[in-house]
Structure 1
Amino acid sequence: MTVRGGRPALTADEVEQRREAILSAVLEQISERGTAGVRMKDVARAAGMSIGTIQYYFDSREALVLAAYRRHSENVVSRVKSPFPGEGDPWEGLRRTLHEFLHVADFTMRTRLWIEFVAASARDDQLLELLDSVFLTWKQVVREVVDAGVADGTFSPRVDPEVAVDALLAQLDGFEIAHAIGSRGTDVERIELVLQQTARALLGVEPSHPE
């Protein structure tokens, strides 16, 4: 095993675990303090590491924030892509997709992160590019389920399918903002129910399909 400065070198798994701990600490700081409030010393304290260790893996605060948003986005997208494999009942696939999105990790923390992500992206081209990629990926996930339902007759859209997808995502975005600020009636269960009922109305889902 390679030795640096008298200490055994970390394995690839150990390096990844350190990076994960650092990025998790960054996301917690963003949720609590906002993107502009992230400081290396606070991240180091939350991660239980020295500032030098943080800087060894991420050479700047900007690189640290970008990596944290990228990792968070990848994790969320990977979860919501899995419920509908391209076969089976499209309505059930859409219900499960929405359910998974609302139940990935802590929804309150995620809504706060999303608001911070959008705000920070307005001033950072790299974050803006990442945000656009995340949004398009999430939209494609929903669109694929809708297209499958239209193709097999499960859905009889009352509007153009593209409009239906945009309307669902816009409603979800609105709920995320309302939930983040603590508005009444925006608990996860109610959000899921309203989204399902909206989807039924837009996509013409027959009553025989359960909630």
Structure 2
Amino acid sequence: MTGRRAKGKEREELVVDAAAKAIADLGLANVRVSDIAERAGMTPGHVTYYFPSKTELLMLAIRQSEEALVEQVEAELGGIDDPWARLERLIDLSASDGRGDTGWILWFQVWSDAATNDTVAEVHNELDERWRQILIDVIAYGGERGVFAYTDLDDAAQLISATIDGLSIQLTVGAPKLARARMLDLCMQASAAFLAAPVALQADAS
């Protein structure tokens, strides 16, 4: 990559970072180009030169956020042998960090826009499927070792994913009486229930 292209790429990433912060702070509908420019330390003209559409910026911001998460997940999970510990770490990495979590606020915006915007819906489905496949791989890893039991792998992943999403939404909006530690504990309790052997299988084993 030439020096000019590298510099242009750095500026694009700077704008995307600034857009993510602005969208999380103000909401996509309320964000002005000047808000992004101020956070990026650029002029509004520079921002619109790289990204003429706020929706495009939202898509790039959520992609960048998810890429960073996937890189961390891939770097850490392979070194965890115990299936339950591996699942617990995945939940810890992907769940909300608390009220105002930037990554989760970006997802709020994506979910909202995906209902009426086909382009946003396509990106949402792509990223959601990627995350779901990571979760499926973790569950399958435990199943292959006889630690997890489930009647349908996809259903188990869907149920655990829905639990993480639902509790993370509550945590991100500041639901009372839901500290992050309790949220993670509830996610693991739900996972234990979803990944327990069916009653008939338990009876056969005894």
Question: Partner of 2:77: helix, strand, or coil?
Answer: coil
Instruction: Quote the offset at 1:137 in angstroms.
Output: 0.8
Could you say if the C-alpha distance between residues 141 and 105 of structure 1 is closer, same or farther in structure 2, counting changes exceeding 3 Å?
farther
User: Residue by residue, what CA displacement relative to the aligned partner does 1:61-93 show, whole Å, maximum 9, x if unpaired?
Assistant: 333333223222322333334433398322221
Superposed, which structure 2 residues align to 1:75-114 within 5 Å? Answer: 75-85=68-78, 88-102=81-95, 108-114=101-107
Q: 1:132 corresponds to which residue?
A: 125
Give the Cα–Cα distance (whole angstroms) in 2 for the partners of residues 140 and 160 of structure 1.
14
Taking every aligned residue pair, what percent have the same amino acid on both sides? Answer: 27
Question: Partner of 1:83: helix, strand, or coil?
Answer: helix
Letter in 2 for 1:170: A
- Identify unmatched segments of 5+ residues in structure 1: 1-8, 206-211
> Is the 2:98–2:172 Cα contact (8 Å) retained in structure 1?
no
User: Residue by residue, what CA displacement relative to the aligned partner does 1:115-136 show, whole Å, maximum 9, x if unpaired?
Assistant: 1110012222111111111111
> Is the 2:65–2:103 Cα contact (8 Å) retained in structure 1?
no
Counting matched residue pairs gives 196
Q: TM-score, normalised on structure 2?
A: 0.83
Q: Does 1:173 align with 2:156?
A: no
Question: Partner of 2:143: helix, strand, or coil?
Answer: helix
Q: Does 1:120 align with 2:113?
A: yes
Give the Cα–Cα distance (whole angstroms) in 2 for the partners of residues 107 and 190 of structure 1.
18
Q: 1:153 corresponds to which residue?
A: 146
> How large is the Cα RMSD of the aligned pairs?
2.6
Task: Please point out which of 3, 8, 13 is paired with 1:15.
Answer: 8
Task: Please point out which of 135, 138, 154 is paired with 1:142.
Answer: 135
Could you say if the C-alpha distance between residues 175 and 84 of structure 1 is closer, same or farther in structure 2, counting changes exceeding 3 Å?
same
Could you say if the C-alpha distance between residues 35 and 103 of structure 1 is closer, same or farther in structure 2, counting changes exceeding 3 Å?
closer
Q: 1:69 corresponds to which residue?
A: 62
Could you say if the C-alpha distance between residues 40 and 10 of structure 1 is closer, same or farther in structure 2, counting changes exceeding 3 Å?
farther
Instruction: Quote the offset at 1:52 in angstroms.
Output: 1.6
Q: TM-score, normalised on structure 1?
A: 0.81
66-75 vs 97-106, which deviates more?
97-106
Question: Partner of 2:17: helix, strand, or coil?
Answer: helix
Q: Does 1:186 align with 2:178?
A: yes
> Is the 2:99–2:172 Cα contact (8 Å) retained in structure 1?
no
Give the Cα–Cα distance (whole angstroms) in 2 for the partners of residues 103 and 181 of structure 1.
10
Question: Partner of 1:59: helix, strand, or coil?
Answer: coil
Could you say if the C-alpha distance between residues 25 and 167 of structure 1 is closer, same or farther in structure 2, counting changes exceeding 3 Å?
same
Give the Cα–Cα distance (whole angstroms) in 2 for the partners of residues 29 and 41 of structure 1.
10
Instruction: Quote the offset at 1:10 in angstroms.
Output: 5.3
Give the Cα–Cα distance (whole angstroms) in 2 for the partners of residues 126 and 136 of structure 1.
16
- Identify unmatched segments of 5+ residues in structure 2: 198-206
**More helix as a share of residues:** 2
Question: Partner of 1:54: helix, strand, or coil?
Answer: helix
> Is the 1:149–1:155 Cα contact (8 Å) retained in structure 2?
yes
Instruction: Quote the offset at 1:102 in angstroms.
Output: 3.0
Instruction: Quote the offset at 1:103 in angstroms.
Output: 6.9
